[in-house]
Structure 1
Amino acid sequence: MSNGKTAIVTGASRGIGRAVAQRLAQDGFRVVAHYQNSKDAAEEVVRGIVDTGGQAVSVAGDVSVAADVAALYEFARDQFGGVDVVVNNAGVVTGGPVQYISEQDFDRVVAVNLKSVFLSAQQAVNVLPQGGRIINIGAGLPAAAVAMLGVYGATKAGVEVLTRSLAHQLGPQGITVNAVAPGPTDTDMLSPDARANLDQLISNTPLRRLGQPADVAAVVGFLAGPDSGWVTGQTLHADGGVL
């Protein structure tokens, strides 16, 4: 049953974004499933939601480009009349010794992981109603300072700082802003090195398993829902207590 609200989910074609889109649809949201390149996968997500009685549409765009982000919000309003929840999930990873990371790769990671959240906030501030939600997908890396992932971790640390700042700015409008920081999660963004050392990853996790996209989506579902109205400016770690 629809709750009458609309959620934008960026990077919704796979992994955590896919699970978030599915979870919010289950919770009654009309879902705008954003993708950049994976059209077939995004349309599959939409079909799955519609086939189970939900409402969803897909839309392409580059979240690091201001005009594309503005078009994303306009599309959501045209399709469903408004926007109530935004999940900024789109992200890319680059890794390796810092001396081998190209300037182009650095700029791309910063643009997709951090600039996109800024551009989305610029649209959301004039669109979200009282009770609106902004949920940014961060990472557990800023606290752990994982070797070879410094640039990626730095962008996610920036997302956490921006989250707290936006929470202060938008709180008087009744809009909450929070982040979710996944630990090692079973998606195609998990590095080959991590997969080669799964036993160690799992042994460092008190719950003794690898995270699943649905685990993260459940936390997003809470933050998007009515029970989280007194939670803002926070980063919730959905990581199984990883050490």
Structure 2
Amino acid sequence: MTNISYKTALVTGGAKRIGRVMCKYLIEDGWSICIHYLNSKKEADEILEIVDKLGGKAFKLKANLNNENETRELFNLAENTIGPIGLLINNASIFYPEDWHEVTDLSWSNNFNINLKAPFILSQEFAKSLPKNSNGLILNLIDQRVLNLKSDFFSYTLSKAALYTMTKTLALALAPRIRVNGIGPGPTLPNSQQTDQIFNLEAQSTLLKKIVNPEEIAKTMMYLINSESVTGQMIAVDSGQHLS
């Protein structure tokens, strides 16, 4: 049983990959959702077709999370579309390999704007807009690597480590009405730079020697939605990768 006051959600990056699976679970659980996308209009339309067949309620909203004005406007559009938002899922991120000596002003700003600043702006708007005497949940998709630091993906790792800290700090700041939690995925889907062979080798290097099914991420999302006493936590759903 959830204590979230409104069964309405904004999911960033909800058209593809893990975000798509989370949206499917929300729709099947009776949520009305706004699916954010930037370049994945076709995939967003596909979800809307599925939702229509299920008799659910979903809308697609386009925004560039690298732009502060568009990010703030995204939240306003979501509220105007489905009413007060009860659940914010900060799922969208960028992710590419980068050693310390390859970091540029552009790579740094892109990673921090999309992976950290946008989640904060949306969380800020969420907290300011939540009606009095209402409860809500912010869920951040982080990464198990914040518990097992590596120096590749340099700017990305720093931005996700900051998001991990922000999750705990916002949990302190927004209690008791708003819970703030995170999920730290491990090897779930290959990134654009990975071959299937490299991805499978990564999965085999985990304690459980297995790929994480995206549905396990969605099930963890549902657990956090329904766990009224859990806040300030990141659950690593990673086959034990953070310990390997």
Confirm or deny a common fold (TM above 0.5). yes
Contact 1:94 1:109 in 2 (8 A): no
Q: Structure 1 residues 4, 50: CA separation in 2 closer, same or farther (over 3 Å shift)?
A: farther
Rounded to whole Å, the distance in 2 between the matches of 1:198 and 1:59 is 31
State the partner residue of 1:221. Answer: 222
The equivalent position to 1:47 in structure 2, one of 41, 46, 49, is 49
Rounded to whole Å, the distance in 2 between the matches of 1:222 and 1:46 is 25
Residue identity matched to 1:182: P
- String of CA shifts for 1:7-44, please: whole Å, max 9, x gaps: 00000111111111111111111010000111111111
Contact 2:96 2:193 in 1 (8 A): no
Match status 1:179 vs 2:182: yes
Rounded to whole Å, the distance in 1 between the matches of 2:89 and 2:102 is 32
- The TM-score normalised by the length of structure 2 is 0.90
**Shift >4 Å, 4+ stretches:** none
Rounded to whole Å, the distance in 1 between the matches of 2:186 and 2:180 is 20
More deviation, 208-217/10-19: 208-217
User: Tell me, which stretches of 5 or more residues in structure 2 are unaligned?
Assistant: none
- String of CA shifts for 1:127-152, please: whole Å, max 9, x gaps: 23532000000001122222421221
Rounded to whole Å, the distance in 1 between the matches of 2:238 and 2:36 is 25
CA shift for structure 1 position 4: 5.9
Contact 1:180 1:235 in 2 (8 A): yes
State the partner residue of 1:143. Answer: 147
The 5 Å alignment of 1:5-154 reads 5-129=7-131, 130-154=134-158
Q: Structure 1 residues 4, 235: CA separation in 2 closer, same or farther (over 3 Å shift)?
A: closer
Rounded to whole Å, the distance in 1 between the matches of 2:106 and 2:66 is 14
Q: Structure 1 residues 234, 133: CA separation in 2 closer, same or farther (over 3 Å shift)?
A: same
Contact 2:13 2:36 in 1 (8 A): yes
CA shift for structure 1 position 199: 4.3
Percent identity among equivalent residues? 28
- The TM-score normalised by the length of structure 1 is 0.90
Residue identity matched to 2:184: A
The equivalent position to 1:161 in structure 2, one of 161, 165, 168, is 165
Task: Give the secondary-structure state (helix, strand or coil) at the position aligned to 2:129.
Answer: coil
CA shift for structure 1 position 113: 0.4
More deviation, 93-102/133-142: 93-102
Contact 1:33 1:46 in 2 (8 A): no
Rounded to whole Å, the distance in 2 between the matches of 1:86 and 1:64 is 18
State the partner residue of 1:210. Answer: 211
Contact 1:85 1:132 in 2 (8 A): yes
Rounded to whole Å, the distance in 1 between the matches of 2:206 and 2:171 is 30
State the partner residue of 2:232. Answer: 233
Rounded to whole Å, the distance in 1 between the matches of 2:194 and 2:162 is 25
Task: Give the secondary-structure state (helix, strand or coil) at the position aligned to 1:115.
Answer: helix
Residue identity matched to 1:217: A
Count, aligned residues: 236
